[in-house]
Amino acid sequence: MEPLTPTLTVSTPPFAHCGKTVNKRMRAILLAMLPAAALAVYHFGMDAVRVMSLATATAVIAEFVSDMVMGRTSQVDDLHGFTVGLGFAFLLPASAPWWLVVFGSTTSIVLGKMMFGGLGGSPLCAPLVGWAVCSLSWANHMDIDAAMLTSELTYPLSQLKHFGPQAVAGFSLNDLLVGRQLGGLGAVQTGALFIGGIFLSMRKHIKVAVPVGMLAGVLVTAGIFHASNPQANAPAMFHLLTGSVIFGAFFLATDSSSSPMRKIPALLYGLLAGVLVVIIRVYGVYPDGVPYAILLANLTSPLLDRIKPKPFGRN
User: How many beta carbons lie within 10 A of that of residue 277, not counting itself?
Assistant: 30
pLDDT value of residue 15: 60
Cβ(90)–Cβ(186) below 8 Å? yes
Evaluate whether 144 touches 244 at the Cβ level (below 8 Å).
Answer: no
CB 132 within 8 A of CB 291: yes
**Cβ neighbours for 132, distance < 8 A, ≥ 6 positions apart:** 291, 292, 295
The pLDDT of residue 26 is above 80 = yes
Q: 3-class secondary structure for 154-194?
A: CCHHHHHHHHCHHHHCCCCHHHHHCCCCCCCCCCCCHHHHH
Q: Taking the model in full, what pTM does it have? A: 0.89
Task: Between 153 and 9, name the one with better pLDDT.
Answer: 153
Q: DSSP letters of 52-65?
A: HHHHHHHHHHHHHH
Residue 133, pLDDT above cutoff 80: yes
Residues 6 or more apart in contact with residue 127 via CB below 8 angstroms: 84, 87, 88, 90, 91, 108, 112, 252
pLDDT at 2 over 60: no
Which of 70, 175, 153, 47 has its CA nearest to residue 118? 70
The rounded percent of the chain whose pLDDT value lies above 90 is: 60
Asked if pLDDT for residue 53 goes beyond 60, the answer is yes
Q: What is the pLDDT of residue 314?
A: 64
pLDDT on residue 188: 92
Instruction: Give residue 6's pLDDT.
Output: 60
Q: What confidence tens digit (pLDDT) does each residue in 75-101 have? A: 888 999 999 999 999 999 988 999 999
Q: Residue 41 above 70 pLDDT?
A: yes
Q: Which of 67-76, 168-177, 286-295 is predicted least confidently?
A: 168-177
Please tell me the predicted confidence (pLDDT) of residue 14: 57
As a whole number, mean pLDDT of residues 109-134 equals 91
How far is CA 27 from each of CA 22, 76, 313, rounded to the nearest angstrom? 9, 13, 42
Q: Which amino acid is at 221?
A: T
Average pLDDT of the residues in 143-172 = 81
Residues found in the chain: 315
